[in-house]
Each structure stands twice: as C-alpha cells, then as structure tokens.
Amino acid sequence: MTTNMSTDHINNRKSSVIPMEDFFRNPQQSGYQISPNGKYFSFMAPYKDRMNIFVRAIDAEEATQITAETERNVAGYMWADNERLLFMKDTGGDENYRLYGVNIDGSDLRCYTDFEGVRTSIIDDLEDVPGQIIIGMNKRNPEVFDPYRLDLETGEMVQLAENPGNWQGWMTDHNGCLRSVTAIVDGVNTQILYRDNEDEEFRPVLTTNFKEMVNFMDFTPDNKMVYAATNLGRDKVALVLMDPSTCQEVEFLYENPKYDISSISYSRRYKKLLSVVCVGHKDPVRHYFDADEEKQRERIKAHFPNHKVGLADCDKSEENLLLYVGSDRTKGAYYFYNIHEDQPKLLAELAPWIKEEDMAEMHAVKYMSRDGFEIEAYLSLPVGQTLDSARNLPVVINPHGGPWARDHWGFSSETQFLCNRGYAVFQMNFRGSTGYGRRFLEASYKQWGQAMQDDITDGVEWLKAQGIADPRRIAIYGGSYGGYATLAGVTYTPDLYACAIDYVGVSNLLTFMSTIPPYWRPMLEMMYEQVGDPEADREMLEAYSPALHADQIKAPLFVAQGANDPRVNKAESDQMVEALRARGVQVEYMVKDNEGHGFHNQENRFDFYRAMESFLAKYL
C-alpha cells in the first residue's frame, strides 16, 4: 500500500499538458545551409503550412522567400552555386521527385525534370564543376536509373551511361567523373565495376554476396585510391584504404569492436581525411586522423556541455561553419561559428515554444534477448519519473521502421508527446538494426514475426520484470516495418498488449512482396533472402502475415495509411481492417488521400496524433 501511495505521488509530479500541435507543427526554421562563398544562409520555414526555402545575407536581418509551395513541403534542397539553389518535391506522396532550380532572389524558377511518373535523385553536386550536376532518373525504364549530366543554365541533359538493369549506385571522383558503379548480380550478389577515366568501359573488379560490403566513400586527393567501408573478412564494417581497380586493401585505418563505422569527415580544402564516426548507444564514437580537427571539435563542444553538436554545413573556406546543437530534450538549434572567432552565434531554434525543462529524459538501457543478443534500447519516462522510481506505468512500445535501420538517442516529437500524456515510451534496436555488425544483421533474415519479434517481446518482458510497466497497460505502436511489428505483436502475442496503432505497416508478406515499387525489382531476389521467397517460403510467409491470422487479434487497433504509398500499398491496411471488422474487433481506420508512406502535411499530422491521443486515452 505504501508503494502505491509513493508511486501516485511521483506520478502527480508531472509537467503540465502541452498542446499536441506544439510537438508536431512545422519547425520555425530548419535545414540551415550556407552558400559556397559564405555570404548567405538558407533555411526552410513554413509558408501556408508548407515548408519552403528562404535565403538571407549573413549580415542581414530579413530573409527572402524563394519558393511558395502550397501542396507539399519542399522535400529537400541544396546550393548549386553562389547564385542558385536546387530543390525536390513529389506529388501527393508518390515519391516521384522532380528537380527544380531557383535563383537566390526567387527568380528563374524552373523544373528540370518535368516528367510524369519519373523519380529523380542527385548523384553528385559537382562542387568543383560550376553550373553542372549529375542526376539519376528512371525515365527510360521505371525499374532502373540512368545517370545524366545536367547543365543548370540551359537545362540540357546528357546521358552518361545506360543502366543495363542492375546498376544501383554511382561514384564520382573529385573531378566529377563517373568512376565506379555498384551492381546487383543474379539478384543476390553485389558487384563493383570500375574505370580509370570516362573514356573507358566499366569493368567488374569485385563480386561478393550482398551480405558482404565494400562501399567506396571518397577518393584520395589524387583520385587514385579510395577510402572504403568494408566488412570483408570481418563482422564489423571497418575503414580501409583500397585500390579501386582491384578492391585490394592497401592500408587498414580503423575498426570499432562494437559498432560499424557510419561516415567519414574529409576536408576538400586541405584534401585530407579528418575523422571516422560510428553511431554509439548514446554519443557518437569518433576516431580522429587529424590532431587539429580533434582540437577544433573539442573547442566547439566546450560551448555546449551535455548536448550533441554536429556540423550541419560549411563554406568552401571551411572557416565558416553551421552547427546543429541538440539533445534528447530539445529539437535543437542552429549556430553560426567562425573557427577564428570561436564564438557561436545563435541563428534559430527549431521549436522555441518547446522548453527543455518540460521534456522527458531518454535513458539509454540494455537487455538480453532470449538467445543471447545484447539489445540496446531507449526508455523515456514521464517528467518526474526516474529509473529508480518508475513503477507500474502505462507504456507504449515503439519498434522502428526499416527494418534495416535503427533508433538513436535524441529528440523525438512522438516520444515527448506520449511522455507528456503520462506514458513511458520504449524503443529498441532489435536484431537487424544497422550498425551492430554482420552477425546481428543477418540474424534478422527471414525472421519477420519470429526472432525479430521475440526481441521486441523480450524487451516488454524486461520492462515488466523491472516493475516499470503495468502488465495490463502496454500498447504497441510503429510505422512501416514498425507497423508490421505492431500487427505481429497483437497477432502472435495477443495477451501482451492492451491496444495497438499501425502506421503504414505491412500486414500480408505475400501481397507486400508483389506490390513493391518498380525500382525495387532488381533487388527482389535479395529481398527474398532477407524476408522470404513467395514460392519457396510461402508457408512461412503465410504463417507470419498478420492479415491471414486476424482471428487471433483481440486488442483494439488503430490503422493509419496514405492512399498513394508506393512502398506499403494501401491494400495492406485495407485487408487488415476488413478482416478484423468482419470479426467485430474494434478498428479505427484513417486514410489520407494526399499522402504516401507517412503523413508529411501538417494538418494530416495533427489529425493522426489527435486520433492517437484519443485512442490511447480510451484503451490504455
């Protein structure tokens, strides 16, 4: 009795209820970049509830709005040169992105790739080749992408190569020449093709199974060797110096015993490798190759104790930097930093209406899976709760999407919203989450609904054993693969969860594999090895398709889906809802006709989270 009274007392010491819109409204300003000459800032900000691009001179107070999109947010943008920016947008969430250009005063707005049903990507910004970039398009064949050199002044495009159907990735050298191609061979093997110059044909230099990785990250300054990320002969992805013409390791540079490397930092001005980074459980793990770089990073970090500091952008001189500073309890802020002045200047907070002291702390925790894997996870508790005091709380289990992705320590609007409403939130990097090596990744293959789901279940049981979770008040919520895990949770462990929320999730593994976007088809054999072959593994895929076992579901369910989703077809949600409603199970179903894989328009986000709040209040 005393314990219950103590717990109630702690639960009462929570922060005041913050409006849902404050968590999910568009940022005040985000996506800061700096022009190559260091004279202008650019950023994204709302205009009629859509994120648009603004530009201002570094010494000015006022910014110029240079786009006026009202249907969809600008999906992403970059500086083409000192006078022009490029940006992407799609239609209704179909992910067929078109490339646009606009001058810094808003003039000469043009669509460079105005083709129906065609998806555009940027291969290389050609930083050292003025007025040109290299793009990829599936214009000739919707299943494959060809590279084109685009003249930004005339709009003229020159196709640089014809993709035979299995080329997946391209790499250029420092002169902007296409030098390397990654291909999928026989559906499951990865091949690297290489040439010394653009007058030569590409020739294969290495063929590996897709489970093995060689990724050229950057050329050395002389364009002869490459810095490569590889797990050949290793469990973890390491950094090596490699001869691209043979894929032979020339020099071993760095390997972490626990994590794969994720990125490198390279100075274009000084033409040298600076550092390599791994994503850690909480803080990044960074190894330096340059003593001056290490000292500069330490100087910057000293200005922001207990926060994560990232380099968002820099100008060509590499003396004027844009810093992103954030933590688990703030959406973050952008700062301008000159390396000689050593005085960060605040440019903008992403969400100044959110106060750090009102937000929940994200705890980095670990637990063991039933077969011996260490699972790194994140537990966020309502304000006023601690790891020692938290007892019998309602909990939302939140597995990530991907599934070959991962959760990170940092700010999450969803997590903070749920914690503010009194729920604990638990996120875990189940097997298959990236960055933990080959063994951990491959343990997820053909394990949808099985060992991958067991890792999630084991996390729930750990929370219960710790006394943190009230066994009668546990919900599960996730998007994409996390949506599948949600449906699998209430199907295969029906007594574990009080309710569930499936956001653009897969429900039937057989129909999912037959409705993938056309540009995924060259990787279909690889997906068969990762998820399952609809013919050879039909029995397994049927057994672990929640829609085919809806009779096992007891928990109330809320389903949200974008009508134009190219990855998880709307039929995935339709068949799940129909099967449950036919049995009389309570299902709430939200479909947005102008969305795809996830809700990007602000009013649709509001609708979704408003419905989520009501649903959880009712059933949890």
14 pLDDT band (50/70/90 cuts)?
low
Helix (H) or strand (E) holding 454: helix 451-465
Look at the chain and report how many structural domains it folds into: 2
Q: In angstroms, what CA-CA distances link 383 with 358, 421, 475?
A: 7, 10, 19
Assess if residue 324 is contained within a domain: no
The model's pLDDT over 37-55, given as tens digits with 9 standing for 90+, comes to 999 999 999 999 899 999 9
Asked if the structure places residue 343 within a domain, the reply is no
Per DSSP bridges, beta strands 120-124 and 132-141 are: antiparallel
CATH code: domain of residue 119: 2.120.10.30
Please report, rounded to a whole number, the percentage of residues in the chain having pLDDT higher than 90: 80
pLDDT of residue 15: 67
Q: What is the mean pLDDT of residues 218-230?
A: 96
Instruction: Write down the mean pLDDT value for the chain.
Output: 92
Residue range 299-314, pLDDT digits in tens: 999 999 989 999 999 9
At residue 12 the predicted structure's pLDDT band, cuts being 50, 70 and 90, is very low
527 belongs to a structural domain: yes
Residues 209-238, mean pLDDT to the nearest whole number: 95
Quote the domain boundaries for residue 147. 31-165
pLDDT of residue 584: 86
Residue 399 lies in a domain: yes
Per-residue pLDDT at 91: 87
Q: Do you know the residue count of the chain?
A: 620
Of residues 512 and 19, the one with the higher pLDDT is: 19
Last residue of a domain, one of 108, 138, 165: 165
* pLDDT at position 184 over 90: no
Find the angle CA(155)-CA(158)-CA(162) to the nearest 5 degrees.
Answer: 140
Amino acid found at 152: L
Task: Please indicate, yes or no, if residue 334 is contained in any of the structural domains.
Answer: no
Looking at residue 397, which CATH number applies to its domain?
3.40.50.1820
Distance CA 543, CA 508 (A): 10
Tens digits of residue pLDDT in 314-363: 999 999 999 999 999 999 999 999 999 999 999 999 999 999 999 999 99
- Is residue 165 classed as helix, strand or coil in its secondary structure? coil
What percent of the chain clears pLDDT 70, i.e. is strictly above it? 97
> Hey, CA dihedral for 567, 570, 576, 577, is it positive or negative?
positive
Q: Residue 454 pLDDT > 90, yes or no? A: yes
The whole-number pLDDT of residue 5 equals: 30
Q: How far apart are CA 413 and CA 331, in angstroms?
A: 8
- Asked if the structure places residue 434 within a domain, the reply is yes
Predicted TM-score (pTM) of the model is: 0.90
Confidence class of residue 284 from pLDDT cuts 50, 70 and 90? very high
| Residue 561, in any domain of the structure | yes
Residues 105-135: tens digit of each pLDDT: 999 999 999 999 999 999 998 887 889 999 9
Average pLDDT (174-179) is 92
On whether the CB atoms of residues 403 and 479 are closer than 8 A, the answer is no
Please list, residue by residue across 441-461, b when 16 or more beta carbons sit within 10 angstroms of its beta carbon and e when fewer do.
Answer: bebbbbbbbebbbbbbbbbbb
Query: Higher-confidence residue: 595 or 551?
Result: 551
Tell me the mean pLDDT in the region 60-78.
Answer: 93
- Rounded to the nearest angstrom, the gap between the alpha carbon of residue 254 and the centroid of all alpha carbons in its chain is 25
Specify which of 22-31, 113-122, 469-478 reaches the highest per-range mean pLDDT. Answer: 469-478
Q: Residue 282: inside a domain, yes or no?
A: no
b/e map 238-267, b = 16+ CB within 10 Å:
bbbebebeebebeeebebbeebbbbebbbe
Segment 534-593, tens digit of pLDDT = 999 999 999 999 999 999 999 999 999 988 877 777 888 888 899 888 888 889 999 988
pLDDT level of residue 192 (50, 70, 90 thresholds): very high
Of 148, 165, 182, the residue that ends a domain is 165
Is residue 484 scored above 50 in pLDDT?
A: yes
Final residue of a structural domain among 165, 196, 226: 165
| Torsion angle of C-alpha atoms 406, 310, 263, 273, degrees rounded to 10 | -170
Rounded to whole angstroms, the Cα distance separating 247 from 253 reads 15
